[in-house]
Amino acid sequence: MTVLSDASLTALPANVARPRYDRSTIAPGIVHLGVGAFHRAHQATYIDDCLAAGETGWGIVGASLRSTDTRDALAPQDCLYTLAVRSGQGEDLRVVGSILSLLVAPEDPARLIDTLCLPSVRIITLTVTEKAYLRNAAGGLDFSHPDVVWDLANHDQPKTVYGFLVEAILRRQATGMTPFTVLSCDNLPANGETLRRLLLEFAKVRGAGFASHIDKSVAFPSSMVDRIVPATTDPDRARVSATLGVTDAWPVRTEPFSQWVIEDRFPAGRPAWERFGVTMVKDVRPFEDMKLRLLNGSHSAIAYLGLLSGHETVADAFGDPAIRRFVQGLWTEAIPTLPDDAGLDPQTYTDRLTARYDNPALQHRNAQIANDGSQKLPQRIVATAIERLRRNAPASHLTLVIAAWIAACEARGRTPDAGQFSDPLDAGLATIFADSQSATTTVTQVFDLAGFASHQAGRTELQSAVIAHLETIRAAGIGAAIATVSGE
């Protein structure tokens, strides 16, 4: 079969949407760091809409910070790929053209720095996942991380986002170019502000005066991104390629829903995003909290409870009446921690989430969401639980999620159903789980390792609740622990 490419676009079936603009006339205006499936299903499709509406200055250069996979799959197909939007009603295919070229940072870091310094580039977007922010247990930059140590000594050959961004910002300053705007699209609270804070820590150590220059000249708006994007499978590749009539080596599978809320601070200019469904706001915080606490929090809950209950996908786990009721209880605990003056409507939000989780065609694997729990739970569950405990409000659903994470990590590799997932703290977790220890010792050591709620009021109460849940899970199983919090 021929490969998807600019040349083969005209041969696609009529019902497959495709770029209706001349890709050769588009200039690179955005460099995206972390060009995975999420970026391709989210930011790249909004930009595809902008380009289709006649904007020509906002093409994307995608960079992978580690793996060559995306570039290897997409470069032979002119960086085109198919977005497969799936629901109970069927599947809509759309070929996206907004990614103009792809780089692999470790292969040629100098080339990525040069690209970040192109005069046409005005925005750097990031989806590098929580762990690439390299935070230590206290939330600051982990200066002991080997890649940070490397970047501070090898300015021309960086490995981390900090090394790349600081080097590019300084070079642009040295040649009198306009600074770019840095837009984090990761699932972190105040993601722009968090990135700015950590980047300034790095810049301060790199050289005198660097941090204050960056602080004065570079904007770091925060944003909230939302679209569920399960990992692509071989059946997806085969099905999409068969429909297209040409081979797409790496289509992306997603749901119909998509949301992007961005703080409107782009001194160097931006696409007219508001014309394409993006909400531009002054302060993204309430949207972020709602999404992290209601969507991502319940996603992690479904993942760990689901794995421990033997469910492979979100829809399977959410179809289990005990887990469904548990998620309702989790939302009931989380909703009162959200600001009530931000014009949000949590009830409508959770109703919509219910329909999204029930989407039978998504096949989102719990093990995918279970990855990197130590990096995700702080903003999804721990912060909410601490707020509840400080108010003496019930938090048993929230605290059970933390115990389920620990139990699922412990069960991995031992219990076949618990699935396979990974965590940046795996080495430390393995040491903790090596000896059978009391729930008290296990929970205390895991909290110390992950830095959960460290130095925060309420940590002792939080730990005690998690210990009690872990004891129940170990003694009687996850079903019994769920029944306890559901009042059965």
Residues forming contacts to ligand CS2 in the complex (CB under 6 A) are 187, 226-228, 296, 299, 368-369, 376
User: Helix, strand or coil for residue 436?
Assistant: coil
Q: At closest approach, how far in Å is the CB of 327 from ligand CS2?
A: 13
Q: At closest approach, how far in Å is the CB of 404 from ligand CS2?
A: 15
From CA 97, how far away is CA 137, in angstroms rounded?
Answer: 40
Going by their DSSP bridges, the two strands 90-96 and 99-104 should be labelled as unpaired
Q: Are 123 and 46 in contact (CB under 8 A)?
A: no
Q: At closest approach, how far in Å is the CB of 46 from ligand CS2?
A: 14
Query: Counting Cβ atoms within 10 Å, is residue 147 exposed (0-12), middle (13-18) or buried (19+)?
Result: middle
Q: What is the dihedral of CA 25, 28, 32, 37, to 10 degrees?
A: 10
Give every CB contact of residue 207 below 8 A, 6+ residues apart in sequence.
none
Q: Using the minimum distance from each CB to ligand CS2, give the nearer residue, 354 or 440.
A: 354
Q: At closest approach, how far in Å is the CB of 376 from ligand CS2?
A: 6
From CA 238, how far away is CA 420, in angstroms rounded?
Answer: 25
From CA 101, how far away is CA 154, in angstroms rounded?
Answer: 26
Give every CB contact of residue 56 below 8 A, 6+ residues apart in sequence.
25, 26, 27
- Residue 13: both structure tokens together: 């079936």
From CA 239, how far away is CA 155, in angstroms rounded?
Answer: 45
- What are 414-422's contacts with CB under 8 Å, separation 24+? 417/307, 417/308, 417/310, 418/307, 418/308, 419/307, 419/312, 419/365, 419/366, 419/367, 419/370, 420/367, 421/367, 421/368, 421/370, 421/371, 421/373, 422/371, 422/372
- Residue 186: both structure tokens together: 């990761």
Q: Using the minimum distance from each CB to ligand CS2, give the nearer residue, 196 or 376.
A: 376
Residue whose beta carbon is closest to ligand CS2: 299
- Residue 148: both structure tokens together: 């940070």
- Residue 170: both structure tokens together: 């300084």
Q: Using the minimum distance from each CB to ligand CS2, give the nearer residue, 76 or 360.
A: 360
Distances (CA, A) of 321 to 6, 309, 358, 370: 48, 12, 12, 21
Distances (CA, A) of 355 to 330, 352, 362: 17, 5, 12
Quick one: which of 480, 474, 468, 365 has its CA closest to 415? 474
Quick one: which of 224, 372, 357 has its CA closest to 302? 357
From CA 258, how far away is CA 50, in angstroms rounded?
Answer: 16
